[in-house]
Amino acid sequence: DSGVTQTPKHLITATGQRVTLRCSPRSGDLSVYWYQQSLDQGLQFLIHYYNGEERAKGNILERFSAQQFPDLHSELNLSSLELGDSALYFCASSVDVGGLTEAFFGQGTRLTVV
């Protein structure tokens, strides 16, 4: 158990809908990263939050947004969903910024858009 909790584990929704994925980092970790794993794109970095502030964006679509709350949990919001958004979405947390420490991943949320 990595200590990173993601909910829900599975999500099935229709095109055009909006969903929210939730991530609780390990106790004490200030950094939260979101990644998308799809068959065609592999593991892609989406966005990074550190202590409530957005630190960096990767290949995140404009239809997607995220935030990190004062209790350090994070939510990834996906809207106007398309079939191509079907993927495994991972959250990772680390104590501080960057590669200075290990990044521990949650079990992922498998999103299926039908």
Partner 1 sequence: AQKVTQAQTEISVVEKEDVTLDCVYETRDTTYYLFWYKQPPSGELVFLIRRNSFDEQNEISGRYSWNFQKSTSSFNFTITASQVVDSAVYFCALTLQTGANNLFFGTGTRLTVIP
Residues of this chain that interact with partner 1 (CB under 8 A) are 2, 31, 33, 35, 42-45, 48, 55-58, 88, 90, 92, 97-108, 110
Nearer Cβ to partner 1 (73/110): 110
Which candidate, 35, 32, 36, places its Cα nearest to that of 71? 32
Shortest spacing between CB 4 and partner 1, in angstroms: 9
Q: What is the dihedral of CA 92, 35, 56, 58, to 10 degrees?
A: 160
Shortest spacing between CB 112 and partner 1, in angstroms: 14
Question: What whole-number distance in Å separates Cα of residue 111 and Cα of residue 6?
Answer: 12
Shortest spacing between CB 114 and partner 1, in angstroms: 20
Q: Do 46 and 58 meet the contact criterion of CB atoms below 8 Å apart?
A: yes
Q: How many CB atoms lie within 10 A of CB 55?
A: 15
Shortest spacing between CB 29 and partner 1, in angstroms: 13
Nearer Cβ to partner 1 (8/16): 8
